[in-house]
A and B are shown apart, each in its own frame.
Chain A
Amino acid sequence: MKSFIPKSILWITVLLSLPLVFSFTAPAAEKMQKNIILATTTSTQDSGLLDVLIPIFEKETGYFVKTISVGSGQAMKMGEKGEADVLLVHSPDAEKAFIAQGFGVNRLLVMHNDFIVVGPPADPAKIKGMKSTKEAMEKIAQAGALFLSRGDNSGTHSKEKTLWKAAGIIPEGQKWYQQTGLGMGQTLNVAAEKKGYTLADRGTYLSLKKGLGLDVLLEGEPLLLNIYHVIEVNPARWPKVNAPGAKAFAEFMVAKKTQEIIGKFGTDKYGSPLFFPDAGKKPESLGL
């Protein structure tokens, strides 16, 4: 026993404490009051739009945006609890209730795209070319063709529930109805693998289309509009909310320059834009 200090333990201590030093300096460098928590939907993140917009916003304002991408339902829950500063969501009915209950202020129209019903090219329920989702949903139910639902309280899921309700069908518990509980991209992959139908937002579908093997079978109905709003979480209710940051972000989203970027986003890659800018328009003008 020459030495009581085992060298190996020393080595490990040195190895493991190096990262520790780094990781504690990193968060210290940021300014805490400069953080904005943006709770948003998976579709805005998965399409890549926010990766384009947020660096511009951060550069212009000096804020640091923490984007937490979850379903619209969870995003609004975060807002209700004051755990987010600003929301970018697409679940209009739930949003109206959110505002009415005083959880949010300044709900502004940002952009839209549309939902589409996609399915296998063989189209077992024969819905291709139909003009009304009501009939298409009935057909799918009658044929007992597999339908994949997000099942995660997202904006897409709540839209899908509205469509079933309009058709007077209760799909829960049916053999042909399966809920993935996953994001849009993953649900599209499940639908492709299982040769099932699903409801998707066009942006995510277009960005995944390559190699997916699902066709657009129904589109263009006013009921299928997918509308995004930005909402500031009510600072009167939650004093810890970064109200100036939320306001700056909301103003940025509806600013003319940002709207131009939104309108062009995706054209180079997919041949058509993924979103249509709508700032300042009345919701009625979209056919609601």
Chain B
Amino acid sequence: MELILDGIFKAFQLLFSLNPEVLGITLLSLEVSGAATFISVLIGISSGMVVALNHFPGKRFLVSVVNTGMGLPPVVVGLFVMIFLWRNGPFGFLEILYTPTAMIFAQAVIATPIVMGITIAAIQNLPPKLRLQILSLGATRIQMVWFLIREARLPLLAAIMAGFGGVISEVGASIMVGGNIKGYSRVLTTATVMESGMGNFDMAIALGIILLLLCFLVNYFLTVIQQRERPR
């Protein structure tokens, strides 16, 4: 118990003293996972809309694959991304293994099925006649898609939060493709693993608390948007 209190104390000490290393690690976590979430939102919501609004053979199968992908184990993603990005691998010429860019890529792979899966469910959950109504009022197809996105605002924001939560907290892929390099690709989760491996449990707890605070702030911001009265 004492250790946990020490950790909490240390977390606030590190935050208020603006410890440059911890700040750097925290910012990098936000940058990497934010960028990965952004990419996954672009791909996930657009492809999710396409799947949800169209009927085609194999749709059920595809949706099952996407739903399975919502539980993709980060270490498995990390392993495959690492093998692809190896110098002598198919994408070795990019030379991005052990960089934050590689981490963004791996995390985007993890988050995209989460965002896409929830998008499909959210759009399919809208009343089926809504589309026809919007179109009959003279809206173009693009206007209809925007309207549907707005109508499904609550679950879509939940999709973004789930995607972000999935990647900010993962450690397996980040450590494999980022390498936990000090001052360069070390993020909150990989630093926590390292510090606990080194026996610095107070530091590990402090980093864990900072991670929770960061998650809370981001989710608070998204929730404020989500719960706002709909502008009319």
Contacts and interface: CB of A to CB of B under 8 A. Distances in A.
B65 interface: no
A26 B100 contact: yes
A238 interface: yes
Nearest to A211: B199
Contact of B184 (A3, A6, A66, A210): A66
B165 interface: no
Interface string B119-161: 0000000000000000000000001001101100100010010
Interface size class of B (residues with CB under 8 A): 35 or more
B111 to A, nearest CB: 11
Contact of B143 (A4, A51, A69): A4
Nearest to A182: B197
Contacts of A186: 196-197
Interface stretch (A7-15, A89-97, A104-112, A220-228): A7-15
A138 interface: no
Interface string A59-95: 0000010111100000000000111000000000000
Find the residue from A8, A26, A54 having the highest chain B CB count within 10 A.
A8
A267 interface: no
Contacts of A82: 87-88
Given A23-B104, A208-B199, A238 B34 contact: no
Contacts of B88: 81-83, 238, 240
Given A11-B225, A83-B86, A27 B182 contact: no
Contacts of A207: 198-199
Per DSSP, chain B at the interface is helix
A41 B221 CA distance: 41
B92 to A, nearest CB: 7
Given A16-B35, A51-B182, A212-B199, 15 more contacts: A4-B143, A4-B146, A11-B225, A13-B38, A15-B34, A16-B41, A20-B31, A27-B96, A69-B180, A82-B87, A183-B197, A189-B199, A208-B199, A240-B87, A240-B92
Contacts of B32: 19, 23
20 contacts: A4-B143, A5-B146, A6-B153, A7-B231, A8-B153, A8-B225, A20-B38, A20-B39, A24-B101, A35-B95, A37-B98, A46-B197, A66-B184, A67-B179, A67-B182, A81-B86, A83-B88, A185-B199, A238-B87, A240-B87
Interface of B: 30-32, 34-35, 37-39, 41, 86-88, 92, 95-101, 104, 143, 146-147, 149-150, 153, 157, 160, 179-182, 184, 194, 196-199, 221-222, 225-226, 228, 231-232
A17 B38 contact: yes
Interface string A237-256: 01010000000000000000
Interface size class of A (residues with CB under 8 A): 35 or more
B90 to A, nearest CB: 14
Contacts of A32: 95
A262 to B, nearest CB: 19
B101 A66 contact: no
A1 B11 CA distance: 47
A122 interface: no
Contacts of A17: 38
B36 to A, nearest CB: 9
Contacts of B150: 6, 9
A6 B149 contact: yes
B215 to A, nearest CB: 15
B197 A185 contact: yes
Contacts of B86: 81, 83
Nearest to B199: A208
A221 B146 CA distance: 74
Contacts of A42: 197
A27 B199 contact: no
B198 A19 contact: no
Given A4-B147, A186-B196, A238-B88, A67 B181 contact: yes
Nearest to A50: B182
Contact of A23 (B92, B101, B146, B179): B101
